[in-house]
Amino acid sequence: MAIKPIVKFPVASLKSKAQPVTAFDDELRRLVADMIDTMRDAPGVGLAAPQIGVPLRVAVIAGNATLPEEPAPEEVAADSQPSGPEAEAVPPLVLVNPEIVAAEGEQVGEEGCLSVRDYFSNVKRFARIRVKAQDLDGRALDFEAEDFFARVIQHELDHLDGTLFLDRLSSLKRALYKKRLKKILQAEEENEQN
What's the pLDDT tens digit per position in 55-80? 999 999 998 776 544 444 433 444 44
Q: What is the pTM of this model?
A: 0.86
CATH superfamily of this structure's domain 12-169: Peptide deformylase (3.90.45.10)
- pLDDT recorded at residue 73: 40
The catalytic position among 70, 156, 189, 190 is: 156
What residue segments make up the domains of the chain, in order of their start?
12-169
What's the pLDDT tens digit per position in 21-57? 999 999 999 999 999 999 999 999 999 999 999 999 9
Strand stretches in 49-194, DSSP E: 58-61, 93-104, 107-113, 116-125, 128-134, 140-146
How many angstroms separate the CA atoms of 107 and 89, rounded? Answer: 27
Using CB atoms within 10 Å of the CB of residue 52, give its burial: 0 to 12 exposed, 13 to 18 middle, 19+ buried: buried
- Residue 188 is a catalytic residue: no
